[in-house]
Structure formats: C-alpha cells, structure tokens
Amino acid sequence: MSALNAAYETWSKEDLIARLRHLDEQHLKYRSKNKPHEWHIKTHTDSFNFAAHPKRKIALKFCYQGQHYSGMEFQPVPTQLPTVEGTLFSALAYARLIDPDAGLEGCGWERCGRTDKGVSAAQQVVSLWVRSAIGEKAAPENDQVDVEEASSSNLTSPTQETEDGSGLEGDFGAFGDWDEPPTDNSRSHLPEDSSELRYVSTLNNILPPTIRIIAWSPVSPDFSSRFHCRHRHYKYFFTADGLDISAMQDAASRLVGEHDFRNMCKMDPRKQLTHFIRKIKSATISPVTEGISPSTNMHVFDLIGTAFLYNQVRHIMALLFLVGSNLEPPSIINSLMNADPNNPLPPFRPDEPAPPIVLTKPDYQMADPLPLVLWDCAYDDSQLNWQVEPEDSEKDGLSQKDFSAKLYDTMHSIYSRSLIQTTLDSHFLDITSKFHTPSPKYLPIGAPESVPIPPGGSFGFPLGGATYKRGSKYVPVLEKKRLASAEEVNERWRVGRGRNNGLGGWRNKLSIILLMLLLPMRC
C-alpha cells in the first residue's frame, strides 16, 4: 500500500469529502482563467480604464536565464519556479501596458517558441497588443474578438493548429511551429516612433535581472511571432573533453533535410501529434572562439530548423554525446530517422549498409537543459523594425544612447560576475588537483589517449552540463527497451486523462480512492 493510500485510510468520510472539495477548488482557481500570476511583482490596487487609452500591436525581443524558471510557457497550475511568461505578463500588467483581467488571450499573446525548464533564450520574441501613446483608440469591449481574430487570421490551417497548438514545445519544451508566408498587411512599412511609450526601459525596471528586454518593434495587426518566424536557431554548449568531435560532426551532418524525428523527441499526448517530419536547415559543431579562453575547449552545436518537436534538440544532443564517446556510430542518427517502413531510408554513404527500420523510440536519456539556448528567431526584415527607446528624451534626460549604454553595462556586470565565479572555481580546481587525482580517462572508447575500461569497472558518459550517466555496462541504443508508439500514446491519453482532463480527472481519482476506502466501512 502506498503512503498516500495509507494516509487516506485513517481519514473519516467527512475529511475525504472535504479533501475532494478542496482539490476541486484548487483546480477551478487555476483553470477557470488564463491569467498568469507572479507574486514577487507587486500589483496595483486602484482601477485603470484600459479602454480609454490607445493601443497597438508590438513585438518584444528579450533574453532570459532558463535555470531560474520553470520554462517559458505559463502554466495553469503552480510550478516550483516561476515561468518566464508569467513573470513578463506580471511586469506588463504592473506597467499598465496590458489588462491583467483579460489574460493572455485578451492581449493576443503569441510566442515564437516554448522553452523547457532550465533552457535559456538569447533572442526570444513575443507579439501582443499593448497600451500606446500614439496608437489607435482601443476597440469597445464587445469588439475585442475582432481584434484577436485580426492578430491570428490567415496564419495556420486547421490541421496545423490541431497538431501544433497548445501544449509544451519542443525543446523548448514542444516547438511544433509551422511556417506560413506573411500577408501583404504584415509586410507594410514600419516607421520609427519617437513619441511612443518607453517599453524597454519601463519593463526592465520592473523585471528581475534574469530577464532583459533587448528591443521592441511595431508590427502589423496580423503579425504572429510564432507563425511568421522563418526559422529557429538553437545552440548547445559543451566541452570537448573525452569526445570525438569529428565523429559528432559526421553525425550532425546527417540531420540536415526533412526527416521523421519521432524517435528523437518526447511524446506529448495532449497535442495528439501524428506528423513528426521536421526540416533541419543546418547542423554544425565548431569551437567557441568568442568571449572565452581557448583552454576551455568549449564547443557549440548549432541547429537551425523551421520547427521542432518537444525536447527534440536535447534528444539529438544526447545521441551526439554517445557518438562522440564512441559508444554509438554516426549512423545511429540515420537508424532513428528510419521510422517509416513504407519509405525506408537508403544508405547515407555508398560504403554504409542501409539503416534498420526503428518503428518506436528506444528508451534513452536526453541531454541536460542547462547548456541549451534558443539563440535566434528569424523573420523577414520587412516585418520588423527593432528599436530601443525614442530619440527624443528631454522629459527624463536619458537619451537612447545613454539607455543603451545602461542596458549594456547591466549585462556586462552579469557577465563579469560569472567570469569571476569561473575564475574562483578554476583556482579551487587547481588547489584540489594538488591533493587528488582525476578519474581515468576512458572516453572516447578506443582512442589512443583513452585507457581501457577494466572488467566490472564503472564509467560515465556525458549528458551535457557537466552531468554524466554512470554504469558498468553500456547497452546500445538499438538494443534498449522500445517505448510505445505515437498511436498508442495518443489513444491511451484519449481514453484516460484526455477524457477526464483537468478537474474531472482529479474528481474521478479522488472518487475512486474514496469509494475504495468506504467500501470496508459498509461491509
């Protein structure tokens, strides 16, 4: 008997019913409104008439340190750490740039990509309607639907919305994003606005230093930060110690093109995905040469694609680490992409055999989220006109040049503190090395500089972020346990949690527990 059941067994009927009602209230609280809450940002108590002010649609470009957040996307239930969206939404509401009571939908909120817990972003983009000093007067409340429809019309087909709609993205959590050509409206000229509100400095004065607004741009009413994005660019940083970089580069090159990535992602049954083909434009591994000492042997995996599946980048990186450790051949990439028996892949090279067909995903561990960053979200230049603050700043005496210097100095201070911490850690390591020796270097397997693994000895292969998976025996990926197919996962969710999603699911679960515990009382 589990600890939970043991605890419930001592409860009276009245206590169990009260518990059930409490859970109902909790879920009603977080599911009834699509409105983020971040308690560390104060809220205004006095009323503010948003309908009396002009508004316009803008895009915000910002960066954030993912280790401080439970992902990018706002969650309807409490999370251990705040979410990036929840924190940004609260800052916008505190600045009275959006109506907090209208929630995300009320301001037409759209993001370029969703990032998981621990994953960072350098140039994330969101688009939304905000209060303006020069925009048009806000539409009457009963016309709000028209404004929202204008911001999302002609952007996606019903099929795309079903497959890549709400849920978690890709590695960023699930980035099931599809591209659509911009409309004529979205390609219109976007002038600079010298008398507009100070969106960048206002928000940066409210937000924590782990989130920084870099720039804003006026956009057309039908612009979508998600669907008008031409491609997403991810970077994954790692040290090359114990890795065969040439083998990893070979494996990465096999990713380019349109492939079925069902075996390189995490299934999210809430999205009911049946299509797993994604297009990779570029996949390279190279040394990091800027802003870091060459002695660190730091490398970066650059991955550019139009759209990504849930945790796709971290799964790919885990496979590259296995290839770099010489635990898997580069052809493991082709094998896992060969998921359709009706369209089998040919050999990648003439001297290689045809890859085996892998119908379902082997159970392997994905890479650590810390080194992963959403580096860039690319758009047509005609759609955006990134700017910082108005040139005319006599009101407060802070020019655009002065403000840019202030933001740069803030970011440089963060960088300097990190550099100091790295220097301290380097000296601590140097002192430790005088009294302790490092572990034998087993990786990459079979390399001249590596030592053989002794019988029964344990070793660890990298998962990124200075984390390792240790064991005494390595099981090849294609010999690992196979997980359920997408069809099985989707069906299981439809007849289980999907049918009783949310409040109903909690009620049914507690009702079953209550029934099981009360039956002995009636016998």
Q: Look-up: residue for tokens 């204008």?
A: 150
Q: Report how far apart, in Å, the C-alpha atoms of 108 and of each of 45, 73, 226, 489 are.
A: 24, 15, 12, 32
> Is residue 81 included in any domain, yes or no?
yes
Give the count of alpha carbons within 13 A of 366, CB side only. 22
User: Could you give the dihedral angle defined by the CA atoms of residues 414, 417, 422 and 425, in that order, rounded to the nearest 10 degrees?
Assistant: -140
Would you say 336 and 319 are in contact if contact means Cβ atoms under 8 Å apart? yes
Strand 277-287 with 257-260, pairing: antiparallel
Distance in angstroms (rounded) separating the CA atoms of residues 476 and 460: 14
Looking at the structure, tell me whether residues 62 and 116 fall in a common domain: yes
Looking at the structure, tell me whether residues 60 and 178 fall in a common domain: yes
b/e for 187-210, b at 16 or more Cβ within 10 A?
Answer: beebeebeebbbbbbbbbebbbeb
Q: How many other β-carbons are positioned within 10 Å of the β-carbon of residue 372?
A: 29
For position 404, what pLDDT does the model report?
61
Element (H, E) at 471: strand 467-471
Give the count of alpha carbons within 13 A of 323, CB side only. 23
Looking at the structure, tell me whether residues 76 and 220 fall in a common domain: yes
For position 47, what pLDDT does the model report?
80
Looking at the structure, tell me whether residues 26 and 98 fall in a common domain: no
Would you say 403 and 389 are in contact if contact means Cβ atoms under 8 Å apart? yes
> Is residue 308 included in any domain, yes or no?
no
For position 48, what pLDDT does the model report?
86
> Is residue 465 included in any domain, yes or no?
no
> Is residue 113 included in any domain, yes or no?
yes
For position 183, what pLDDT does the model report?
44
Element (H, E) at 306: none
> Is residue 309 included in any domain, yes or no?
no
Distance in angstroms (rounded) separating the CA atoms of residues 142 and 145: 7
Looking at the structure, tell me whether residues 27 and 154 fall in a common domain: no
Looking at the structure, tell me whether residues 22 and 126 fall in a common domain: no
Displacement of CA 167 from its chain's centroid (Å): 11
Looking at the structure, tell me whether residues 73 and 25 fall in a common domain: no
Give the count of alpha carbons within 13 A of 111, CB side only. 31
| CA angle, 283 then 176 then 463, to 5° | 50
Domain boundary among 372, 391, 410: 391
Tens-digit pLDDT string for the chain (523 aa): 445 555 677 778 778 777 777 776 665 555 444 444 444 566 665 688 888 999 999 999 999 999 999 999 998 888 899 999 999 999 999 999 999 999 999 999 999 988 999 999 999 999 999 999 986 655 444 444 333 333 333 333 333 333 333 333 444 343 333 343 344 444 444 455 568 899 999 999 999 999 999 999 999 999 999 999 999 999 999 999 999 999 999 999 999 999 999 999 999 998 999 999 999 999 999 999 887 777 789 999 999 999 999 999 999 999 999 999 999 999 999 999 999 999 999 999 999 999 999 999 999 999 999 999 999 999 999 999 999 876 544 455 555 556 666 888 989 999 999 999 999 999 999 999 999 999 999 999 999 999 998 988 888 999 999 999 999 899 999 999 999 999 999 999 998 876 665 444 444 555 555 555 555 444 4
Looking at the structure, tell me whether residues 142 and 17 fall in a common domain: no
Q: Specify the number of domains making up the chain.
A: 2
Looking at the structure, tell me whether residues 139 and 221 fall in a common domain: yes
Looking at the structure, tell me whether residues 120 and 222 fall in a common domain: yes
Distance in angstroms (rounded) separating the CA atoms of residues 36 and 49: 20
> Is residue 330 included in any domain, yes or no?
no
**The token pair that represents 1 in the structure block:** 């008997």
Looking at the structure, tell me whether residues 28 and 58 fall in a common domain: no
Domain boundary among 331, 357, 391: 391
> Is residue 189 included in any domain, yes or no?
yes
Give the end-to-end CA distance of the chain in Å, rounded to a whole number.
Answer: 20
Q: What's the CATH number where 221 sits?
A: 3.30.70.580
Q: Which of 15, 24, 99, 116 is catalytic?
A: 116
Q: Is the dihedral of CA 113, 118, 122, 126 positive or negative?
A: positive
For position 292, what pLDDT does the model report?
77
Give the single-character DSSP code of 145. Answer: H
Domain boundary among 365, 391, 417: 391
For position 143, what pLDDT does the model report?
41
Looking at the structure, tell me whether residues 11 and 119 fall in a common domain: no
Distance in angstroms (rounded) separating the CA atoms of residues 212 and 409: 12
> Is residue 515 included in any domain, yes or no?
yes
Would you say 132 and 57 are in contact if contact means Cβ atoms under 8 Å apart? no
Containing structural domain, residue 513: 3-32+503-522
For the chain, state the CA radius of gyration. 26
Q: How many other β-carbons are positioned within 10 Å of the β-carbon of residue 428?
A: 10
Annotation says 116 is catalytic: yes
Could you write out the DSSP letters of every residue in 234-302?
A: EEEEEE-TT--HHHHHHHHHTT-EEEE-GGGS---GGG-----EEEEEEEEEEE--SSS-GGG-EEEEE
pTM greater than the 0.85 cutoff: no
